[in-house]
Structure 1
Amino acid sequence: MIRVENIIKSFDSKMVLKGITTEFQKGQTNLIIGRSGSGKTVLLKSIVGLHEVDQGEIYYDDRNFTRMKMKERKRLRQEMGMVFQGGALFDSLTVAENVRFPMDMFTNQTAKEKEERVAYCLDRVNIKPEAFRLSPAEISGGMQKRVAIARAIVLNPKYLFCDEPNSGLDPETSLVIDSLIHDLTVDLNMTTIINTHDMNSVMEIGDKILFISEGEMGWIGSKSEILHAKNKKLEEFVFANRQYKEMRDARIENGS
């Protein structure tokens, strides 16, 4: 579980986060949504420590992240997995070497133990052994995202962070990535936080959804509640997608 309390963050004189307080539960896919410039990316980066907050507290379970020394944060980061927007794979390394990279950095395991763990994680994301020796340039965008997920889980993290994991992917591949992240979250009982603007992701895997509007908490709920939410800014965000506007109009017409 991750808890944030009254998080405030400014850049120069502009306040970007205005007192965000919420919890992200383990074993669930927690989504942060909002328009561009709403503050959702700043919130995610603040939670992982890429931005220092001006005010407020961030807790990983019962550990106060905001008050940790650098050495303590480094230890905690070994419990985190990150999936970046572009995948962020190393072009000079093979698929298997990319996944092994965190193990080389943070563990003293033997070469055999690393090889077995890498193979296991790549199998979990449906990457076949014949692709292990390929470079990122030799595989598709969807496969690159799956390799990035394998790398993120190779240290068996308690916390998984995903920044726009479906960026640049076609709708069908996006659904595969969503399902994969959700299944791994449940299977590994991780606290997963996903920063996204993809309404298909929201409706597919949104166990908990936090809508950020102009740096403030606009709404919290689940995928089953979002189409019925009585929040004008959220409605404008959700129903900007024609598909979901039609779903809402159909429900209104049916009286549901």
Structure 2
Amino acid sequence: MIEIFSPTELRRARVTGALVGDILQTLKERTVVGTNLLEIDRWTREMIVEAGAVSCYVDYAPSFGRGPFGHYICTAVNDAVLHGMPHDYALADGDLLTLDLAVEVDGIAADAAISFVVGDAPSPESAALIETTERALRAGIAAAVPGGRIGDISHAIGSVLSAAGYPINTEFGGHGIGSTMHQDPHISNTGRPGRGYRLRPGLLLALEPWVMADTDELVVDADGWTLRSATGCRTAHTEHTIAITDDGPEVLTLPPRG
């Protein structure tokens, strides 16, 4: 299913996106050495409930997971990159943490992810992973113009990731979003320009470049959800929900304060 939203619906989508961005920023500010992943999950639940929003994850049970997920946020540490299930783990100095959050407000969902290093001194490897996914996301957003194609976005993202020397996994990528969290079209993190669905004003997309330092192969934890690099290398994942508008792409999941 691909949904095209009216200007009125886009105003509602901005509310959802701002909430997602604000929660992620608040969680980043609160997270320090010693913070437990279950504590992050609890904070997330409290903020979602306080906002009158609905979690997209608690009851999420797709074919690739061992559902329902049962938590309010994905917390992936170091070699974990996608669908990280919160568990009893206290973050250590230098851990690379990815937080991935999707919520629904007034019938419209938004989805975003941030990666950051806990503590004061990120390693060069971790800093490079994070910076590359952020730069790839900016490139993908810049390519998301009316009349363009999904392949233009994929090509822009993949060009940045490849130039930085990272292998690219194509099993998981970005996606359409709207009244449900995951919709068509799929947005691979590499691709050929000029191919795929034509971008139209009112289309909402979640773009999410992610990389693993030295492999494109994933393995699944015993929890049935958490995806890790097959080699144990570090990973990073950055995501925004955007709207295609007549004036170009609009990022919806920036925090309201900046």
Query: TM-score over 0.5 for the alignment?
Result: no
Tell which structure's C-alpha radius of gyration is larger: 1
Query: Higher helix fraction: Structure 1 or Structure 2?
Result: 1
Calculate the TM-score normalised by the size of structure 2: 0.29
TM-score, with structure 1 as normaliser:
0.29
